[in-house]
Structure 1
Amino acid sequence: MLDFLEKSLDVRQISRSLGVVLSFAPGDLIFREGDRPTCMYVLLEGEVEVRRGQVVIETVGPGQALGIVSLLDDEPRTVTAEARKACQVAALDARKFRFAVEQVPHFAWWSMAELAHRLRSTNAAL
């Protein structure tokens, strides 16, 4: 993520206050490829592996997002997200995500940076 965003915004605090905090044990699936989207997730703590089929795209850590693309276009998930370590995520539905984007300008920039990062990671892995 961009350094200036990390210094000016604690997305975990915002996400925790807006979303529903969920806990996952190692090996738990947060979502599967093909699932319908209901929310996006911000990793509060822990580690999540993102893969398409058997190809690992990346490992996501605290302060990173999962599931933004599917939430935006309401298309099925294109990847599977599995907890590698015990983790907590803040789940934001479309309404809460839109609120954060509209009311917290840095959240919008953070979201775009996350989308760009995910695109680059996916291109590199495939």
Structure 2
Amino acid sequence: MRINQSIYQNHVKNYKTEMVIFKEGDHGEEMYVIIEGEVEIRKRTSSASTKTLIVFHKGDIFGEMALVEKKPRSASAVTTKPSRLLVMNEPLLEYMIEKNPDFARKMIRILSERVRKANSMIQSIMSTNQQSQVLNGLKSYAGEYGTSTFKGLRVNIASFLKWAQDHLGITEKEVQSNMQVFLKNGTLKYSAKGNEEILIPVEPGKR
């Protein structure tokens, strides 16, 4: 993504580690492009704790939804290492979309993907069947992080348990209990590595 040098100089800010870029509930008037560094998006789960939703790295864009929708920030953004960010307000965003086709295409892809993921998450949250929630979460995780084999997708159990607690809001004990049900009824199987990995079999017709 090409950035005009004058724009770069006038709109770039440097942040130290653990600096708050914006807080959940803030009015959003800017979005950000990471030039260097790393940023976590954190959501309040109680008055004393937060949950990390996603980690952004060099080249990633974040904070655009509040700017586009004119709504308060839905989560907080905090640097996890020294970072340099391009800070874009609405006039600059419009200028970049008009003058930089690469940037415009990237924005369209990002917005489309975020809407798709949001819809998927809403469907998962609305599910009253915890087993379905765990299984759908497992399939989603396997599609992104699993190892593809002829027999199916291999998933490290410990890694999935941690992911499930962060993304599904279910305790490790509940996830393990539901996974045991799937192992007993044949929905899941242990891989050749034993009880460290599970195998999600390939569905008929999808080999």
Give the TM interval when normalised to the shorter protein: 0.7 to 0.9
The sequence identity of aligned pairs, in percent, is 27
- Per-residue deviation, 1:18: 2.7
Rounded to whole Å, the distance in 2 between the matches of 1:109 and 1:103 is: 12
Q: Which has the higher contact order (CA 8 A, sep 6+)?
A: 1
Structure 1-normalised TM-score? 0.80
Paired residue for 1:55, among 51, 55, 71? 51
**Structure-2 change in CA distance of 1:16 and 1:91 (3 Å):** farther
Corresponding position of 1:99: 95
Distance 2:66 2:83 in 1: 21
Which residue in 1 is equivalent to 2:76? 80
Residue correspondence of structure 1 range 8-23 to structure 2 within 5 A: 10=1, 13-14=2-3, 17-18=6-7, 20-23=11-14
Give the gaps of 5 or more residues in structure 1.
Answer: 1-9
Task: State which of 110, 113, 118 in structure 2 corresponds to 1:114.
Answer: 110
Q: 1:76 to 1:68 in 2, by over 3 A?
A: same
Aligned residue pairs total 115
The unaligned stretches of length 5 or more in structure 2 are 45-49, 122-136, 138-166, 169-207
Distance 1:105 1:60, change over 3 A: same
> What's the TM-score, normalizing by structure 2?
0.50
| Residue type at the aligned position of 2:110 | E
Cα contact 1:18–1:92 (8 A) shared by 2: no
Q: Hey, what does 2:36 align to over in structure 1?
A: 45
Deviations 1:59-91 (A, max 9, x none): 100110111111111111111000000101010
Q: Which has the larger radius of gyration?
A: 2
CA distance, structure 2, for counterparts of residue 46 and residue 15 of structure 1: 20
Distance in 2 of aligned mates of 1:43 and 1:51: 17
Query: Distance between the aligned counterparts of 1:15 and 1:56, measured in 2?
Result: 33
Aligned-residue CA RMSD (Å): 2.2
